[in-house]
Amino acid sequence: MSARSFRALASRIPPFASALAAGAALAVLAAHQQGAAAVESAYFARWALAVLVPLALAVPRPGHEIGAAAIASNLAAWVLPAGPQRGAAFGALLVAAVVTGTVRLLARRDAGGLRLPLVPLAVAFQALFAAPRLLVPAPALLWTDLLPALAAGFALALLGRVAGRSALAGGALVAVALGGFGPVAAGLLLVAAGVAGWRGERPDPRFVLGFAAAGSAGLLLLPRGEQPVFAALAALVLLAPFALWPAGGRSARAWWLGGWGLALAAATTGHGVAALAPALLFLSLALAPTPERDRLATLWSGWLLAGAALAAGFPWLAPQPAGQLLAWLGGTATSPSRQLVAAVLLALAAAALLPLLARRWPRAAAPRHLALLPALLLAGCGLFRPETPLLGTAPVVLTATGPLWGAPLAAPPGEIVVELALAGSAQLASGTAIGRIRLDCEDGAAVERALRTGIEVADWAARRPDLAARLGPPPATAWISWLGPDPTFFAQRYRLLWSPPPCEGGAPPVAVRIELEPDLPPELTLAIHRVGVRR
């Protein structure tokens, strides 16, 4: 081995050691805890190793982010009490470490050094998306996560060599759309990379268009999905970097129109964000790279990939992370709001104008200024629409003997937020009305929202293997998970956002109540974990 290779290998030891030490320290913590805390700490140990070890192989020297993530994640795990708050902090720190490492990797000017690290980097990202499957690791993880991530990483490395940064951004957006670097994403990327590798140059747009059209046509042949079209329009935010008006003549504009046509057609299939993957891949490979598009694509894909990874990880465990992320950003529990759709369409229009603005105001219209925009928008929405809790820290449990909870309202609510979980509801059919949220008006009238199993709320043990097999996946209102003493499944709470209509006659609402239906099985209970109002 040459001295240079030895030094390169030796430089990996410190971050590698930090990653291993992180997992070891968490394992020690787990061994000295009891019950749910021990289960959760052991899970964190597996998760940390799965993320930080490949990340240690990917990041450029010296790898301080690995050490920082190892220390910070252990700080959260050792100091915070067990529960979703510990999981949220832990997951956020792992995502931050991966994003920081990715940014440092991409900032390297040496394009040759960029290729191989993409392989472990893809594995690190996939470990974030595979968080639910790490609770009970099975050999199937090899086929569902590890090998596809390795393959996707190789494919990205090859695509990056021939097609530049825009291809990498496209690959990242494909991962966002498909919920990680799983088998489907790896397959798409491998085919694209295979074509590029065979030709040794940027693939012919005609070939890619044909491949993407075939992929989209396949979607059209499938039975129509459940996602409403207007909600799917919100998913077009993934294509924002490709909204930039293309430069380069008639053929470039033709490919651009073709790609957008594919995207819009895919959106009508009702299969949500995942259906956009072929169109994303096409646009990233077919359009000639420009500095503005590359920078915007890098920033946009970074935001969305980090957000999706956060949504997919513990304690959120969103099954369709990108779709769920859009719903949350839109302020709803299940699907994007009309306001978000409008905001997305505005953002796309603004992106299309960016090249023209950049010519006139090159510094102001710099893509890097867009990097902070999502954070600032989120901050603005959060600051000016805070949530006021109506319930204390201890949950209230409604039972057959005590089926009612209520609280007065100081002002008409813009939105009511409730976090609930049923227990003992496994025998009820999906769609059974088990209760209601009721807003009492000053004149005695009321407005109500029904609570139905499998739609607004479900059992806390819905992810237990036997229940999941019988009832299917949790409803889209699934919000936060935690780990109980049983190490085989995540417990689940559900969050419902309700914008109540005004009271008839204009009377102000004076109280909110949650009540169980009568004649329910006696063992059924409804735990109310949180009730809040937003202006």
Partner 1 sequence: MRARLVRWGTAAAASIAFGIALDKADPLRGTLLFLPWIVAGLREIDALPGVRRVGGQLASGLEALALGLLVAFAAVRSWLALPFATAAVVGGLTLWLLLAALRRGIGLRPLLGARLPARPPAVFFLLPLTVYLGLQPWVTAARLPDGDEPYYLLVAHSLAYDLDDDLANNYAAGDSLAFLDRRLEPQPGDPVGSGGELYSRHNLLLPLLLAPAYRLAGAAGAQTVMALLAAALAWVTLRLARHYFRAHPGPVLVAWLAGALLSPLLLYAPQVWVEVPAALLSAIALDHLLELKYDRLWNRRRWLGIGLPLLLLPLLKIRLLLLAVPLLALAWWHAGRPRKPLIILGIALGLLSAAMLGYNTFTYGNPLKIHTLGELRLYETPARTYLLGGAGLFFDTAFGLFGATPVWLLLLPATALLVARRHPLLFDLLVFSSPYLLIVASRREWYGGWSPPFRYALVILPLLTLMLVPLLEQRRRLGARWLLGGLFAATVALLLLWTVVPGWTYNFADGRTLLLDQLGARTGSDIARLTPSMLRPRPATWIVPLLLLAGVPALWHWPRRRSGAVAGGAALALAALAALPLLAARLPTRTIELEDAWVAKSGGHLHPDRWMFDRTRYRGGWVLREGEEATAYPVAGGRELTVTVELEWVRNTDSPLTLTLRAGERPLATWEPTTPRHWERIELGPFPWQPGEPLVFAVSGPAGEPTNGLILDRARLAWR
Q: Which stretch binds partner 1 (CB under 8 A): 55-63, 318-326, 422-430, 432-440?
A: 55-63
Query: Tokens 């980097």 belong to which residue?
Result: 121
Q: Which stretch binds partner 1 (CB under 8 A): 12-20, 169-177, 281-289, 442-450?
A: 12-20
Q: Does residue 122 contact residue 149 with C-beta atoms inside 8 Å?
A: yes
Residue 158 or 531 having the CB closest to partner 1: 531
- In the region spanning residues 96 to 125, those forming contacts with partner 1, defined by CB under 8 A, are 100, 103-104, 107
- In the region spanning residues 318 to 377, those forming contacts with partner 1, defined by CB under 8 A, are 368, 371-372, 374-376
Q: Does residue 191 contact residue 152 with C-beta atoms inside 8 Å?
A: no
Q: Does 89 bind partner 1 (CB under 8 A)?
A: yes
Q: Does residue 183 contact residue 144 with C-beta atoms inside 8 Å?
A: yes
Positive or negative CA dihedral for 235, 343, 311, 396? negative
* CB 100, min distance to partner 1, A: 7
Q: Does residue 405 contact residue 512 with C-beta atoms inside 8 Å?
A: no
Near partner 1 by CB under 8 A: residue from 13, 342, 353, 356: 13
Query: Tokens 């369709």 belong to which residue?
Result: 320
Sheet-wide strand order for 433-441: 404-408, 509-516, 433-441, 446-452
Q: Which stretch binds partner 1 (CB under 8 A): 20-28, 186-194, 450-458, 517-525?
A: 20-28
Residues in the chain: 535
SS3 content of the chain, % helix, strand, coil (to 5): 60, 15, 30
Q: Does residue 422 contact residue 482 with C-beta atoms inside 8 Å?
A: no
CA distance 19 to 51: 9
Q: Does 515 bind partner 1 (CB under 8 A)?
A: no
Residue 46 amino acid letter: R
Near partner 1 by CB under 8 A: residue from 161, 207, 366, 387: 387
* CB 187, min distance to partner 1, A: 33
Residue 14 or 412 having the CB closest to partner 1: 14
Query: Tokens 């129509």 belong to which residue?
Result: 224
Q: Does 146 bind partner 1 (CB under 8 A)?
A: no
Q: Does 36 bind partner 1 (CB under 8 A)?
A: no
- In the region spanning residues 419 to 448, those forming contacts with partner 1, defined by CB under 8 A, are 419
Number of residues lying near partner 1 (CB under 8 A) = 64
Q: Which stretch binds partner 1 (CB under 8 A): 57-65, 193-201, 273-281, 344-352?
A: 57-65
CA distance 54 to 469: 33
Near partner 1 by CB under 8 A: residue from 50, 88, 176, 267: 88
Q: Does 528 bind partner 1 (CB under 8 A)?
A: no
Q: Does 297 bind partner 1 (CB under 8 A)?
A: no
Near partner 1 by CB under 8 A: residue from 44, 47, 58, 85: 85
Q: Which stretch binds partner 1 (CB under 8 A): 30-38, 153-161, 282-290, 440-448?
A: 30-38
Residue 107 or 349 having the CB closest to partner 1: 107
SS3 531: strand
Q: Does 29 bind partner 1 (CB under 8 A)?
A: yes
Q: Does residue 183 contact residue 149 with C-beta atoms inside 8 Å?
A: no
Residue 500, preceding peptide bond in cis (omega within 30° of 0): no
The residues pairing with 433 across neighbouring beta strands, listed in sequence order, are 452
* CB 55, min distance to partner 1, A: 12
* CB 86, min distance to partner 1, A: 8
The residues pairing with 457 across neighbouring beta strands, listed in sequence order, are 453
Residue 393 or 401 having the CB closest to partner 1: 393
Q: What is the 3-state secondary structure of 366-407? A: CHHHHHCHHHHHHHHHHHHCCEEECCCCCCEEECCCCCEEEE
Q: Does 310 bind partner 1 (CB under 8 A)?
A: no
Residue 28 or 214 having the CB closest to partner 1: 28
Q: Does residue 26 contact residue 18 with C-beta atoms inside 8 Å?
A: no
Near partner 1 by CB under 8 A: residue from 6, 8, 9, 28: 28
* CB 309, min distance to partner 1, A: 14
Residue 79 or 138 having the CB closest to partner 1: 79
Q: Does residue 316 contact residue 95 with C-beta atoms inside 8 Å?
A: no
The residues near 261 (Cβ < 8 Å, ≥ 6 apart) are: none
Q: Does 230 bind partner 1 (CB under 8 A)?
A: no
The residues near 31 (Cβ < 8 Å, ≥ 6 apart) are: 38
Residue 186 or 457 having the CB closest to partner 1: 457
Residue 26 or 503 having the CB closest to partner 1: 26
Helix (H) or strand (E) holding 422: strand 415-423
CA distance 280 to 64: 33
The residues pairing with 388 across neighbouring beta strands, listed in sequence order, are 533
Q: Does 22 bind partner 1 (CB under 8 A)?
A: yes
* CB 36, min distance to partner 1, A: 13
Q: Does 527 bind partner 1 (CB under 8 A)?
A: no
Q: Which residues bind partner 1 (CB under 8 A)?
A: 11, 13-15, 17-18, 20-22, 24-25, 28-29, 31-34, 37, 61-64, 66-68, 70-72, 74-75, 78-80, 83-85, 88-89, 100, 103-104, 107, 368, 371-372, 374-376, 378-384, 386-389, 393, 417, 419, 530, 532
